[in-house]
Amino acid sequence: MRYRNLPDGSQIPVIGLGTWRMGGGTEPDPTEDASVLNAIHAALEMGYTHIDTAEMYAGGHTEELIGQVIRDYERQSLFITSKVWHTNLSYPAVLRACENSLRRLDTDYLDLYLIHWPNSAVPLEETFKGLNELVETGKVRNLGVSNFDLDLLEQARQLSATPLVTDQVPYSVLNRTNAQNGILAYCQQYGMILTAYTPVEKGRVHELAALNALARKAGATPVQIALSWLINQPNVITITKSLNAAHLRENLAALKLGLGEDELAILDNLAEIGP
Ligand SMILES: NC(=O)c1ccc[n+]([C@@H]2O[C@H](COP(=O)([O-])OP(=O)(O)OC[C@H]3O[C@@H](n4cnc5c(N)ncnc54)[C@H](OP(=O)(O)O)[C@@H]3O)[C@@H](O)[C@H]2O)c1
């Protein structure tokens, strides 16, 4: 695994396991439990250590399934991120939501806790009062946000008592919005991390002719090229989801792939090239 350093001295893996739609959509779907448990277990065995989840995923059931797997692993060897849903951003609700996530995940602390989506009905000051308290009491090690625009990100950075660690946003070879709107440059300027979600566009990167050509040349797959492009950018990490062990292995192997100047130039211009 490769890591990026965090201000508290810990390290965050550059490729993590996403868990949206593991165990259900917004409601639990126990029919998938066996395949989800197998996938998370397989991921940890092959070297994933960062798991990204949220209280909203499968109505909390995704966290329960993760909890069932991680109890067999040394907690310090893992990096667990969860997120508080936008309806739980009042001071008491944030504290309660975190307690519930910890209970479902069967752990004493979260490595990283994010505001999943902003909510203009609740002052950000109030939410950070709760979040800062969670750090003070040791229930959370690092704070971050998700789906925050530049304005809100700046507000959040000012309100966080400890250095704000990340903005988790969509970012991929096919979706450059958050590089173009300044989020990436902001993260790089303030030593924060852009966590790129939906990095393989649900597998759609397979369809890009330019990526296929690069992949053939590099002896890699288009998905690996897409992931490598992300994690080789300063201050970027990514999380990708799969229930398929072969895909999980393929995605992790992107760590070993180096991209040269020529390949990077082609990928940087991909938006113009198109599929
Ligand atoms: N903060 C937010 O609001 C937010 C929003 C969306 C996502 N996220 C997080 O980011 C994670 C990743 O995003 P995502 O799940 O939207 O998108 P993704 O990782 O780009 O795509 C996941 C899909 O791609 C397929 N896939 C993965 N690896 C593949 C491979 N090597 N070859 C072919 N297909 C492959 C998977 O199917 P198989 O299972 O068949 O492999 C799965 O259906 C989420 O799980 C979640 O943790 C956060």
Digit-coded pLDDT (tens) for 129-149: 999 999 999 999 999 999 999
Mean pLDDT, residues 70-82: 98
Three-state DSSP at 134 gives helix
Q: Give 245 Cα–ligand 1 centroid separation in angstroms.
A: 13
Helices (H) and strands (E) in the chain, counts: 12, 10
Average pLDDT, the chain: 95
Res. 206: pLDDT tops 90:
no
- Residue 259 has what pLDDT? 86
Q: Is the CB of 242 under 6 A from ligand 1?
A: yes
Res. 88: pLDDT tops 50:
yes
pTM above 0.95, yes or no: yes
For ligand 1, atom 48, the nearest C-alpha belongs to 197
- Residue 198 has what pLDDT? 96
Give residues with Cβ within 8 angstroms of 121, minimum separation 6: none
Three-state DSSP at 84 gives strand
Q: How far apart are CA 232 and CA 251, in angstroms?
A: 14
pLDDT band at residue 266, thresholds of 50, 70 and 90? confident
- Maximum Cα–Cα distance across the chain: 54
- Residue 271 has what pLDDT? 60
Three-state DSSP at 107 gives coil
- Residue 267 has what pLDDT? 86
- Residue 272 has what pLDDT? 47
Three-state DSSP at 172 gives strand
**Which atom of ligand 1 lies nearest, measured to the CA of 54?**
47
CB 78 within 8 Å of CB 41: no
Mean pLDDT, residues 67-92: 98
Q: How far apart are CA 114 and CA 140, in angstroms?
A: 10
- Residue 275 has what pLDDT? 40
Phi, psi at 164, each rounded to 5°:
-65, 130
Mean pLDDT, residues 182-211: 94
Q: Give 202 Cα–ligand 1 centroid separation in angstroms.
A: 5
pLDDT band at residue 125, thresholds of 50, 70 and 90? very high
Q: Rg of the chain over CA atoms, in angstroms?
A: 18
Q: Which of 22-26, 166-170, 269-273 has the lowest mean pLDDT?
A: 269-273
Q: How many residues does the chain have?
A: 275
Q: Give 129 Cα–ligand 1 centroid separation in angstroms.
A: 32
Mean pLDDT, residues 39-64: 98
Which residue out of 198, 223, 231, 249 has the highest number of ligand 1 atoms within 8 Å of its CB and is therefore the one to mutate? 198
